[in-house]
Amino acid sequence: MGLRPNLLTRRAAGVASTTLALLLSTAAVGVVPAASAFSAAPGGACAEPADSHANARVKPGAAATHEPNELTAKQVRERDADLAAALRERANFRAGAGATTLATVTIPVVVHVIQENSTRAGGNIPDSLITSQISVLNQAYAGGTGGAATAFAFRLDKINRVTNPSWYPIVDGSSAERSMKSSLRVGGKNTLNIYLGELSDDLLGWATFPQRKLSSSDGVVVLNESLPGGTATNYNQGDTGTHEVGHWLNLYHTFQGGCGGSGDSVSDTPAEASAAFECPTGRNTCSATGLDPITNFMDYTYDSCMYQFTPGQASRMLTAWNAYRAA
Ligand SMILES: [Zn+2]
């Protein structure tokens, strides 16, 4: 209950921040602003206690216990070492600098709608949901819902509808998924390929992290009914897309590493012992300063609860863009 008013609060903030987004895009300095002009919290609509779901951003009662983007500490060390190495390879990069000389980056997006048949239940979602998803991405990454403005904007280039029952549902890690992606993926490292469909294990989505060598698996898989206006209750405002694109741009979960170590490798997301579900306002699972970042797009809370990236995340994404995806 109370989720819709909260949604209106978030989207209204998006309208109000248009000026900020324009400032970012026209300033051409490429430095991510230190802080958003907006700090509005969701309107108190989400006050349910934490529940006992397993550790994946999945629908309640889901079979999955592990989202593909959850990493071990070793994997994080390897990824961060690779990022540092990739940056060293870039002649125009000054070591240690978080922001670079790029202005706003517009990412071309190709959406592959995987269908089992021509029915809605068979994956045939309307174009309107897809255009709404692109709007949600643009608002979220512009800081328009209350978080930091990032360097990124999204431009829908194509909707590619594919009817193939052997690819439906999309099964994480399957040979069918590899076949689907190698058949359909288009563009260079900078092109965001989004695959929509019913997903295995009640997952909401998964994504590839950036790599120095472009892989045919590169892209984001998102539950079709998680798009804005879809039927995935509590997860149908498009923030699964926002979350998975965050991974595609090299962000970890806010609960990566728990309370210790370097956590998610971002300094301004307070440490969090584990994923948060629903919208547990006031949750504080680590002794370090700061409440758990339950409103961050890289946690597992309801769409109505998550509305922001931090300046540190914005900087990490731009750094990774320059290391891995920029032309
Ligand atoms: Zn994730």
Q: Any catalytic annotation for residue 67?
A: no
**73 phi-psi bin (left φ>0, alpha ψ -120 to 50, beta other):** alpha
Residue 64's pLDDT is 54
pLDDT for residue 17 is more than 90: no
Per the CB < 8 A criterion, the answer to whether 326 and 190 are in contact is yes
CB 152 within 8 A of CB 249: yes
* Confidence at residue 96, expressed as pLDDT on a 0 to 100 scale: 46
The burial class, CB within 10 Å (0-12 / 13-18 / 19+), for 213 is exposed
C-alpha–C-alpha distance, residues 111 and 38, integer Å: 31
Q: Is the pTM of this model over 0.85?
A: no
The whole-number average pLDDT for the span 70-95 is: 80
> Which 3-state string (H, E, C) describes 232-281?
CCCCCCCHHHHHHHHHHCCCCCCCCCCCCCCCCCCCCCCCCCCCCCCCCC
pLDDT tens digits along 176-186: 999 999 999 99
Mean pLDDT of 224-244: 98
Please give the distance, rounded to the nearest whole angstrom, from the Cα atom of residue 239 to the centre of ligand 1. 11
Residue 299 alpha carbon to ligand 1 centre in Å? 7
Number of C-beta neighbours around residue 69 at 10 A: 22
Buried b (16+ CB within 10 A) or exposed e, 126-147: eeebbebbbbbbbbbbbbbbbb
- Distance (angstroms) between ligand 1 centre and the Cα of 300 equals 7
pLDDT band at residue 258 using 50, 70 and 90 as cut-offs: very high
Name the token pair of 140.
Answer: 């979220």
Q: What is the DSSP letter of 138?
A: H
- What is the rounded (10 degree) CA torsion for 27, 29, 33, 34? -140
Ligand 1 centre distance from Cα of residue 29 (Å): 30
Q: What is the mean pLDDT of the chain?
A: 82
Distance CA 223, CA 203 (A): 7
Look at residue 47 and tell me whether its pLDDT is greater than 90: no
Residue 87's pLDDT is 84
Residue 147 has a pLDDT of 97
Ligand 1 centroid to Cα of residue 153, in Å, is 20
Q: Which residue has the higher pLDDT, 226 or 64?
A: 226
Cα(92) to ligand 1 centroid in Å equals 31
Q: What separation in Å is there between the alpha carbon of 91 and the centre of ligand 1?
A: 31
Upstream peptide bond of 169 is cis (omega within 30 degrees of 0): yes
The Å distance, Cα 313 to ligand 1 centre, comes to 14
Residues linked to residue 221 through DSSP beta bridges, in sequence order: 195, 206
Rg of the Cα atoms in the chain: 18
pLDDT of 114 higher than 60: yes
Q: What percent of the chain has pLDDT over 90?
A: 67
Give which of 119, 239, 107 is closest to 168, Cα–Cα.
Answer: 119
Query: Which candidate, 219, 205, 199, places its Cα nearest to that of 70?
Result: 205
Question: Chain-centre distance of CA 122, in angstroms?
Answer: 25
Decide if pLDDT at 318 tops 60. Answer: yes
Q: How far is the CA of 78 from the centre of ligand 1 (A)?
A: 18
282-294 average pLDDT score:
97
Of 303, 310, 308, 309, which Cα lies nearest the Cα of 45? 303
**pLDDT for residue 70:** 84
Task: Choose among 218, 243, 302, 234: nearest CA to 67.
Answer: 243
The pLDDT, as a whole number, for residue 5 is 30
Q: Is the pLDDT of residue 220 over 50?
A: yes
How sure is the predictor about 86, in pLDDT bands with cuts at 50, 70 and 90? confident
d(CA 3, CA 232): 13
And the tokens for 182? 């190698």
How many Å lie between the centroid of ligand 1 and the Cα of residue 27? Answer: 32
Residue given tokens 């892209």 in the structure block: 219
DSSP-based three-state secondary structure for 325: helix
Of 198, 244, 272, 278, the active-site residue reads 244
Backbone angles phi, psi at 195, to 5 degrees: -110, 125
Mean pLDDT of 188-213: 97
* Per-residue DSSP letter, 154: E
